[in-house]
Amino acid sequence: MIGLLGGSFDPAHEGHAHITREAIKRLGLDEVWWLVSPGNPLKARGPRAMDARLERARQVMQHPRVTITDIEAKLGTRYTAETLGRLFDLYPKVRFVWLMGADNLAQFHRWENWDWIMGALPVAVIARPGQRVAARMSPAAQTFRDHRVPGRHARRIIHMDPPAWTLVNVPMRPHSSSEIRARGEWSD
């Protein structure tokens, strides 16, 4: 079972590394792939160059089960639903789970074909400071409330037919890319 963590990683930080390690542990994943995005379709401002983001990501996340990839740039996809469709075609025998922080679940109903994504693979949402209530109350959580698996049984989602999602409570990390950019520690 491979976890997919999509993100701008502009730049990658300890929060990303932390939720990745937690997801491996809590869900029992064989691998995690970081999908370093060519650019979030909902963000007006483009991220820094891919090479710089990949390099930083590889410094921040060194783990035998984790691969940092620019596969979306290679495939020419930007929308997650499209990326997933292509990955399912390329790796028909692999089972994937989508990983994201709680802030992303709060916005998830704005993603293209988000309800298809929920039906296409299990989804694990990982706690993020200040985002748990927004995630729980979000349109996506409400729409799929009957398919939510309690966090203490998170491991079950990887064996279930989707839709199946869970909100995993882990010790939280406050790091964020926007804060690092605001401090001026990540610029061209």
Ligand X SMILES: O=C(O)c1ccc[n+]([C@@H]2O[C@H](COP(=O)([O-])O)[C@@H](O)[C@H]2O)c1
Which positions lie near ligand X, rule CB under 6 A? 6-8, 35, 37, 40-43, 79-81, 104, 111-112
- With tokens 């940092």, the residue in question is 68
Report what 41 binds from ligand X, ligand ATP, none; CB cut-off 5-8 Å by kind: ligand X
Residue 46: exposed, middle, or buried by beta-carbon count in 10 A (0-12, 13-18, 19+)? exposed
Q: Half-sphere exposure (CA, 13 Å, Cβ side) for 3? A: 27
Rounded distance between C-alpha atoms, residue 184 and residue 50, angstroms = 19
Residue choice 35, 126, 140, 149 for contact with ligand ATP (CB under 6 A): 126
First and final C-alpha spacing in the chain:
37
Least distance (Å) from ligand X to the CB of residue 154?
A: 20
Report what 44 binds from ligand X, ligand ATP, none; CB cut-off 5-8 Å by kind: none
Site for ligand ATP in 130-149 (CB under 6 A): none
Rounded distance between C-alpha atoms, residue 32 and residue 96, angstroms = 9
Instruction: State yes or no: residue 19 binds ligand ATP (CB under 6 A).
Output: yes
Instruction: State yes or no: residue 16 binds ligand ATP (CB under 6 A).
Output: yes
Residue 93: exposed, middle, or buried by beta-carbon count in 10 A (0-12, 13-18, 19+)? exposed
Say if CB 61 and CB 17 are below 8 A apart: yes
Q: Is 94 helix (H, G, I), strand (E, B) or coil?
A: coil
Which is closer to ligand X, CB of 50 or CB of 81? 81
Segment lying near ligand ATP (by CB under 6 A), choices 75-83, 85-93, 112-120, 173-181: 173-181
Which is closer to ligand X, CB of 75 or CB of 81? 81
Segment lying near ligand ATP (by CB under 6 A), choices 64-72, 85-93, 95-103, 148-156: 95-103
Say if CB 119 and CB 163 are below 8 A apart: yes
Q: Cis omega (within 30 of 0) on the bond before 163?
A: yes
Segment lying near ligand ATP (by CB under 6 A), choices 53-61, 97-105, 108-116, 136-144: 97-105
Instruction: State yes or no: residue 186 binds ligand ATP (CB under 6 A).
Output: no
Residues that bind ligand ATP (CB under 6 A): 5, 7-10, 15-16, 19, 100-101, 103-104, 126, 128, 173, 175-178
